[in-house]
Chains A and B, each alone.
Chain A
Amino acid sequence: MTALLEAHDLTKNFGGVQAVAELSFTVQQGEILGLIGPNGAGKSTVFNLINGVIAPDKGRIVFDGQDITGQAPYAVARHGIARAHQIMQPLLGLTVLENCMVGACFGRENMSLADAREAARQVADSVGLGARADVLAGALTTAGKKRLEMARALSAHPKLLLLDEVLAGLNPTEINLMLETIRGIRNSGITILMIEHVMRAIMNLSDRIVVLNLGRKLAEGTPREITQNPDVVKAYLGDASSLEAAGATPP
């Protein structure tokens, strides 16, 4: 296996608060890597550092052999990193299809408008938004907007997909559908780095998991190793039984 994304020694301070500290990890080609940690652990900041929304104070990010540290978000997108936001940011006045077309046009492949239209239609179909392609994004339900975030990111045909809590706010049926979609994406050859609070989901989906606490890496390993790691259990999960509880109760 080769590394698709390498983060070396990432550090970011906001005022006096150390949001991310000396964090290093790698995402292997083709895997699903889960990023978990309590609220305020710095997970979303890590995403912001990777896709260039903010620049790190220290450290390097290497994607597919190229140093992308500090590049603007649109440059990072061109390299083949796409992101689905935790707080959905649909382009409300554009249709579902047009939203996806933006991703396709300006993502990794720099498609023409006509190509983008077809790619967007295929992706919209594949995540179950095909019937709503010509609806304004503002008219979608929450679950629909979550799917749109994902569809828009996928339309870029990225190498790496960053999923930021795409399951939050969905009901159990919608979660199951979304899990299938995420597996489908991985099977199509796209590498996934995901932040998730729904334990059952992340434990099921991930090949490996990185646990953050107070901006630092607390542990790294397979889901099984993580659930048995005493540090994780202590710092994050409280005690062992709460892991079971978290898995059993939907959000």
Chain B
Amino acid sequence: MTTSISHDVAKAGTFKPRKGWGEEIALQVRQPFPWLIAIFTLICALAPYVLDDVSLRESLLLAAVYVTLATNLNLMIGYAGYVNFGNIVFFGVGGYIGVYMATAWHVHIVLAALAGGICVSVLAYVFGRGILRLRGAFFALATIGVNEAIQAFVVNFEPWGGATGIYLSMDAYEPLGGPMNALWLCYYLIIAVMGLSLLLSYGIKKSKFGLAIMAIGQNEDAAAVLGVPTPKYKAIVYSISGFLPAVAGALYFFKSGIIEPTSAFDLTTSIEAIVMLMLGGAGTVTGPVIGAFLYEELRGYLLFSETFSHLQLVLAGVLLLLIVLFVPGGLMGFLRQRLPFVRRWLQ
């Protein structure tokens, strides 16, 4: 054994094959999981159209927004280990930029939403280089601070309508073929954003960048000693986690016809996104989806029930507490631990 050790170490030092991106992507395409994401997205996109069910469309749209928020939040909380409490700020700023460009400058909503996403990503990177120096509770507090500060700025920013916000007139939908078509378009786009979020989450998890982010999530100092450029990578993942929520925000508020500061920067939604993520299972790709759908069902039930209609947030808080205390891995963590086939099929 002893001689073979020296021999193996010597061999390990001379290792030289070169495998690149191509092989890595080819490997992933042969995996079942990306296809599951594609099929799931397609089903969500087609179901309301095929069944001709507008209320299903509305509830799936809300669920897709939640999945997008929770999935991108997962990049920070589940992967990098940084609790972004004020995550809704991405959604809100993206919404404002998108809606403003679509109304004031008559930019096509797709381009306006993309512009919103890009602006938010750039801002997030710059902010991230600063606030990601903080760790733990201090980072969480700083993210709340960012959200509140930006909300205060928007309330006083006249071009964006100040405290009353921006209302869209019906004319805004004319370039898209009228309000009816615009609604369907926004629906398909938001479902696409959800699908992209899931692919992004899976892609990051399986990438070299993702490995670095997970290493940071486990032990940031050890990751740095191993060579992970931690300040830059943290800011990049923070920036990435803002892009699709911002795009979704633009589409969502465009579709709603109104955007105003209290709903765009609502900390409650931030917390709800955390509850969904923890419920489904932080650190997994499937978890946030399950969490978001479950939470949307639960929320819908509570809002319409006589007894609970005012207790929705109280119950969300209690739920979060119970999860953190007893099932920190969430539903997916719980299932993956116990059932090998879940581990094989669902990431």
Q: Give me the interface of A with B, judged by CB distance under 8 Å.
A: 51, 53, 72-75, 77-78, 82-83, 85, 89-94, 98, 101-103, 105-107, 112-116, 118-119, 122-123, 125-128, 152, 154, 156-157, 177, 180-181, 183-185, 187-190
Contact A74 B229 (CB under 8 A): yes
B341 within 8 Å of A by Cβ? no
Inter-subunit contact B228/A102 (CB<8 Å): yes
Are A126 and B8 closer than 8 Å at their CB atoms?
Answer: yes
Q: Is the CB of A91 within 8 A of B6?
A: no
Interchain CB contact under 8 A, B12 and A188: yes
B324 near A: Cβ within 8 Å? no
Q: Which A-chain residue is minimally distant from B221 (CB atoms)?
A: A89
Segment among B14-22, B30-38, B179-187 that sits at the interface with chain A: B14-22
A interface: dominant SS: helix
For the complex, what is the distance from the CA of A128 to the CA of B27, rounded to whole Å?
28
Indicate if the CB atoms of B15 and A113 lie closer than 8 Å: no
Q: Answer yes or no: B55 CB below 8 A from chain A CBs.
A: no
A103 adjacent to B211 (CB under 8 Å): no
State the interface size on chain B (CB cutoff 8 A): 41
The residue from A116, A125, A188 contacting B13, defined by CB atoms under 8 A apart: A188
B interface majority secondary structure: helix
Q: Which residues of B contact A107 (CB under 8 A)?
A: 226-227
B interface with A by C-beta (< 8 Å): 1-2, 5-15, 17-21, 23-24, 27, 207-208, 211-212, 214-215, 217-219, 221-230, 283
* Residue of A with least CB distance to B231: A72
B1 partner residues in chain A, CB cutoff 8 A = 128, 177
Known: A91-B222, A180-B5. A123 touches B12 (CB 8 A): yes
Which 5 pairs across A and B sit closest by C-beta, in order of nearness?
A106-B227, A184-B6, A77-B227, A126-B8, A114-B19
User: What are 19 A-B residue pairs whose CB atoms fall within 8 Å in the complex?
Assistant: A53-B221, A75-B229, A77-B226, A82-B226, A85-B222, A89-B225, A91-B215, A91-B222, A93-B218, A94-B215, A101-B211, A102-B211, A112-B19, A112-B20, A115-B18, A122-B12, A127-B5, A156-B227, A184-B9
Contact B208 A103 (CB under 8 A): no
By the criterion CB–CB under 8 Å, are B21 and A112 in contact? Answer: yes
Q: Does A89 lie within 8 Å of B211, measured CB to CB?
A: no
Q: Given the complex of chains A and B, what is the CA–CA distance between A38 and B225 in angstroms? A: 25
- The complex places the Cα of A183 from the Cα of B24 at a distance, in Å, of 35
B13 touches A113 (CB 8 A): no
Given A93-B218, A115-B17, A106 and B8 touching (CB < 8 A)?
no
- The closest CB in chain B to the CB of A123 belongs to B12
| Contact, CB under 8 Å: A112 / B208 | yes
What residues of B have a CB within 8 angstroms of the CB of A85 in the complex? Answer: 222, 225
Complexed CA–CA distance, A44 and B10 (Å) = 28
A72 to B133, CA, bound (A): 14
- 15 more CB-based (< 8 A) A-B contacts, given A73-B221, A123-B9: A53-B221, A53-B225, A85-B225, A93-B214, A102-B215, A102-B227, A103-B227, A105-B212, A106-B212, A106-B228, A118-B15, A119-B12, A157-B13, A184-B9, A188-B6
- Inter-chain contact B13/A189, CB cutoff 8 Å: yes
List the B residue with the shortest CB-CB distance to A122.
Answer: B12
Which among B1, B215, B223, B228 has the highest number of chain A CB atoms within 10 Å?
Answer: B215
Are the CB atoms of B211 and A51 closer together than 8 Å?
no
Residues on the B chain within 8 Å of A118, using CB: 15, 17, 19
A184/B7 in contact, CB under 8 A: yes
For A74, the chain B residues whose CB sits under 8 A away are 224-230
Contact assessment for A188 and B219 in the assembled complex, using a CB-CB cutoff below 8 Å: no
The reply to whether A156 and B226 form a contact with Cβ atoms under 8 Å apart is yes
Q: With contacts A91-B223, A107-B226 known, is A181 near B9, CB below 8 A? A: yes
Query: In the complex, A128→B2 CA distance in Å?
Result: 10
A119-B6 contact given A73-B224, A91-B222, CB 8 Å threshold = no
Say yes or no: A181-B222 contact (C-beta < 8 A), given A112-B24, A157-B13.
Answer: no
Chain A residues closer than 8 Å to B14, beta-carbon distance:
188
Taking CB atoms, residues of chain A closer than 8 Å to B19 are 112, 114-115, 118
A154 CA to B12 CA, complexed, in Å: 9
Distance in angstroms from B29 CB to nearest chain A CB is 14
B226: which of A102, A126, A184 is its contact (CB, 8 Å)? A102
B6 touches which one: A73, A116, A180 (CB < 8 A)?
A180
Given A112-B21, A184-B10, verify A94-B15 contact (CB < 8 Å).
no
Residue contact A105 to B15, C-beta cutoff 8 Å:
no
B222 and A89: CB pair below 8 A? yes
Tell me whether A125 and B8 are in contact (CB under 8 A): yes
Contact of B10 among A103, A115, A177, A188 (CB under 8 A): A188
Q: A113-B24, A181-B5, A184-B8 are in contact. Are A72 and B15 (CB under 8 A)?
A: no
List chain B residues, Cβ under 8 A from A106: 212, 226-229
Q: Are B219 and A89 in contact (CB under 8 A)?
A: yes
Candidate in B1, B15, B230 with the most chain A CB atoms within 10 angstroms: B15
Contact (A91, B219) CB under 8 Å given A118-B17, A122-B15: yes
